[in-house]
Structure 1
């Protein structure tokens, strides 16, 4: 069943209405209480997109719009996340000088992102994605009186411009060869057959560059580290709905990628980013920097999934990670940890339970891989599945307090697995009609990335056990420095407030 023009019209009417309400809120004579009306209007576009998804009235092309389930799923996700964060911001940002400006900019940024993913025209997609990056840059520097925010916006803006220009050139190049602006026509087998090998590789590399910059992958992770000066709601929408856009772009252009040099480069960059991001999150004491490091690592794994052709898994990953990371950022103000020493006596823990967990993890991981042993993604997924199950089993079951504690741990582990499989099945139901095309990179490249990740895991374990060694200290300080912002974007005291104190 295809999306009717009336439903599409209704969606855009609601989207325009939310934009107008944001502009109305800018007027100083409009009472601040109007923001709650704005939030109510803002709830309408994601509601319409959810109705379309639930009724499965998706698919087909209508004018410049490519209205498949992926487009509507991402539109709903971005708009819903934006709605939640703006609702949270009503009280959180109260008293900020730019209070009225935040809400229209939030609405503009999420609205432009949703239109970008609904676009079936390459020109419209590039324009809307550029508008999204501009909106994000303006959100970072909205507190223009604070020099630190301005410097962070400059770093982000320059890299965003490089990313957007790279995508722009790739789309122009694709049009010049295929003669098609329509996404569905430009990526057909006949159209892509017109590309020479070097042209295809060039377009692939440009798209990879356009993707890894907003995803904060090495060596372009600097902008995300600098951006922590932005208010927490801005960080939330950045990490939840915009940083992970690379997975959608790669999924859209999957017919272009044939497992060549571009996929291998993406695989290696993402693998290095996983190690760097994980290391930053482990050594930083600042809560937001920990989340930044975690995002770099998670986006690296998402791009590994894309490079291996597991696009549906990457989309599920980016949505679940977005929800999880938005939740962590919105509760950042209450993230004061307790440093009480646990009274749990590990000495009495039965190592038989730990060994049992290792055996179970090995059996499940190998079984999962054997379902499709030739697929590189299955190999990496089996490795991660086995490792995750081993860690979870050790923490929830092996270290459980007595028989009751282990029963509770098993119940939690089984419940989490059940919820995950239900969510996984739901997303597959929505996305199974989309034909993602990809040829996997050579198995040798997959083995190199797996070896890199295993090496990082072993090194992390060794460093944790030999903290007093010189090598551990060098690696620790290197990771700390890597996760620190430049001096221009760090300020021990907000000097811009001095004008109100004098």
Structure 2
């Protein structure tokens, strides 16, 4: 009884601290409040991720608390979203200082991440849709703050249209699901008795709506342009998109895993996401703008995360969503310092010894095989093992084989060993934490595995071919096609923002 009381107290305290941060954000909007209050607001906001961490650590069993579904996955997601929000707000104190919308940025950061965290804590599907709608609205408002810039206006229109369409498709899927099962509570909807009321065509229809609803925020093909347009927003806005928004698909499909697993919609998701993985990778290779390279990486990574969901590897998808969000947010916040790291180098051709290349291939094969055996040797684990072994082999080539001298190879090998140890620790921690909450519901069929292997091998074949046919017409056509798909809308690009020119000219006239 005492444990339950403490658990309820922590839950109430979490919502109290989150509410305080929202009130603080509203109070900060008043023009008479000094700007120094921003630091105080960020301190108040920092209590929310702390309370979500305490709830995650002390939670012993899954429980339904009113309209809230409080389990390790819910608290982990809230911790993830709010932590990224706190880091970005702390970073923005000096980064955005001097911007005319300085106060509004912090208020909208709080509103957006707070809504996202509450959405994933919801057991009532109606509350889920309300707070998820607030989250998408908050992101749209963040992009739209700089309305005097024509490029920003175009990004607002396109982003708002696609995100609204995503929300409406998810709303339609939720209403259809609730009407078919007779429940609005997620825990009741996903019960076996409720799911048996769904016909096969109803299940596929609902799942296809959900697939489109998650593919749009994840910027999967052909919806990638809205994320490319959004790079005109300040860097902290691009970073906060990775706080459970563009990577929300993994969380959402994991929540609805009993409904999604074993359905024909998985095949459609694999095809859509597989093509997006190849497209995003191609964008990285052809784009010269650093933020658009990061967007291309996000498209590819989100595609891979959705493939993991389609294969039933929901635990891997959650790990991917969290780690990718933390990593990519950091890269966006460091985008401004990239120019300082650029160094002009004279390219030299270095031929690596065959023994080092062979060692890398054998190491990747051994790591992948050990991973597959230790994880029961199931189908989706085979794909994960293949990709893991492939990654180790590539890392060996970049860090060890291409290392400068014995010292460089030793440092490269040490980095690979360190990353491997950290990966195993994180994987074991997540597996222990989410045991009983996130499970591999249905093993993938042979058709799904063959389809994923075909996509991976096709992409590898294209890369292998392109490296040997740089001067061919087909390579030029492929290159230009990737450039066209990776470019934002023409109206969302300006070589020099016109509103800055107007502001400078007005200032000069006043003087």
TM-score by length of 2: 0.95
SS at match of 1:61: strand
1:14 maps to: 17
1:174 maps to: 177
1:38 maps to: 41
1:269 maps to: 272
Q: Is the 8 A contact 1:240 1:325 kept in 2?
A: no
Deviation of 1:458 after TM superposition, in Å, equals 2.0
1:498 maps to: 501
Q: Is the 8 A contact 2:59 2:71 kept in 1?
A: no
Instruction: Give distance in 1, aligned partners of 2:46 and 2:100.
Output: 25
SS at match of 1:465: coil
SS at match of 1:234: helix
Correspondence 1:280 to 2:265? no
2:393 maps to: 390
1:321 maps to: 324
Instruction: Give distance in 1, aligned partners of 2:204 and 2:364.
Output: 39
Deviation of 1:282 after TM superposition, in Å, equals 1.1
1:137 maps to: 140
Gaps in structure 1 of 5+ consecutive residues: none
Change (3 A) 1:427 1:258: closer
1:99 maps to: 102
Instruction: Give distance in 1, aligned partners of 2:287 and 2:147.
Output: 27
| Larger CA deviation: 177-186 vs 332-341 | 332-341
Instruction: Give distance in 1, aligned partners of 2:294 and 2:394.
Output: 21
- Output aligned runs, 1:43-442, within 5 Å: 43-57=46-60, 59-336=62-339, 337-341=341-345, 346-347=350-351, 349-370=352-373, 375-436=378-439, 438-442=441-445
Deviation of 1:343 after TM superposition, in Å, equals 7.7
Deviation of 1:40 after TM superposition, in Å, equals 0.4
2:452 maps to: 449
Deviation of 1:441 after TM superposition, in Å, equals 4.1
Instruction: Give distance in 1, aligned partners of 2:387 and 2:53.
Output: 32
| Deviation string, structure 1 residues 417-453 (Cα, Å, up to 9, x no partner) | 0011111111112111215363244312321222122
SS at match of 1:94: coil
SS at match of 1:433: coil
| Larger CA deviation: 35-44 vs 336-345 | 336-345
| Deviation string, structure 1 residues 351-409 (Cα, Å, up to 9, x no partner) | 11111211222233234335568633122112211211111111222223333332222
Change (3 A) 1:249 1:39: same
Instruction: Give distance in 2, aligned partners of 1:406 and 1:258.
Output: 44
SS at match of 2:467: helix
Instruction: Give distance in 1, aligned partners of 2:373 and 2:421.
Output: 22
| Larger CA deviation: 443-452 vs 12-21 | 443-452
1:465 maps to: 468
TM-score by length of 1: 0.96
SS at match of 1:346: coil
Q: Is the 8 A contact 2:261 2:310 kept in 1?
A: no
Root mean square deviation, CA, Å: 1.7
Q: Is the 8 A contact 1:240 1:321 kept in 2?
A: no
Instruction: Give distance in 2, aligned partners of 1:98 and 1:315.
Output: 34
| Deviation string, structure 1 residues 210-235 (Cα, Å, up to 9, x no partner) | 11111111111111111111110000
| Larger CA deviation: 455-464 vs 276-285 | 455-464
SS at match of 1:176: helix
Gaps in structure 2 of 5+ consecutive residues: 507-511
Change (3 A) 1:344 1:57: farther
Q: Is the 8 A contact 2:314 2:438 kept in 1?
A: no
Instruction: Give distance in 1, aligned partners of 2:446 and 2:377.
Output: 8
| Deviation string, structure 1 residues 455-500 (Cα, Å, up to 9, x no partner) | 1122113212321211111111111111111111111211112332
Deviation of 1:92 after TM superposition, in Å, equals 0.8
Change (3 A) 1:42 1:372: closer
Change (3 A) 1:317 1:342: farther
After the TM superposition, which segments of 4 or more aligned residues of structure 1 sit over 4 Å from their partners? 342-345, 370-374
Instruction: Give distance in 2, aligned partners of 1:420 and 1:372.
Output: 15
Q: Is the 8 A contact 1:233 1:330 kept in 2?
A: yes
Change (3 A) 1:491 1:400: closer
SS at match of 1:66: strand
Instruction: Give distance in 2, aligned partners of 1:262 and 1:447.
Output: 16
Q: Is the 8 A contact 1:239 1:326 kept in 2?
A: yes
Deviation of 1:280 after TM superposition, in Å, equals 0.5
